[in-house]
Amino acid sequence: MFKVTPNPPNTDPASPYEPDSNKLNDATERALDYHFPSTADIKATPRTPSTLFTVDPQATTETLMVYLVETLASVDVMVHQLVDHLDGGDRNALLGISNSIMLAEITANRVLDQIDPAE
């Protein structure tokens, strides 16, 4: 019996199923540029603040600082309540966030002391 096809069959070296490396590289570059813009692109984009929430322009610096300190203290309490329910790495990460909150609170208190020093 005669076999019709060679073993292995002859194939075209430029198969349509094999990706063209140049096209693949170009597509990769476009995807990376889209998902990971350069710092120059980020800095060139102007920041437009949201107007959904606004702070009263008449509010004094002292009032804003007091509100900031109280907010930081509240967030710290919430974080410590969550820490009690976690173990391992998640607990350590949340404690690290808590430390950052406490540092921000200490800094805000220091600014508040400079605005209206207690005598």
C-alpha neighbours within 13 Å on the C-beta side of residue 52: 1
| Domain count of the fold of the chain | 1
pTM of the model: 0.51
Look at the alpha carbons of 96, 100, 105, 109 in this order and tell me if their dihedral is positive or negative.
positive
**Measured distance CA(103)–CA(68) in Å, rounded:** 13
Q: What percent of the chain has pLDDT over 90?
A: 23
Q: Is the pLDDT of residue 16 over 80?
A: no
54-106 pLDDT, tens per residue?
888 898 888 988 899 999 999 999 998 999 898 899 999 999 999 999 999 99
Is 24 within the bounds of a domain?
no
What mean pLDDT, rounded, does the chain reach?
81
Q: How many CA atoms lie within 13 A of 101 on its CB side?
A: 19
| 35 within domain boundaries | no
Calculate the CA dihedral of residues 37, 39, 44, 46 and round it to 10 degrees: 90
- Residue 71, domain member (yes or no): yes
Q: Which domain holds residue 88?
A: 61-115
Q: Report if residue 29 sits inside a domain.
A: no
Give the pLDDT score at 9.
62
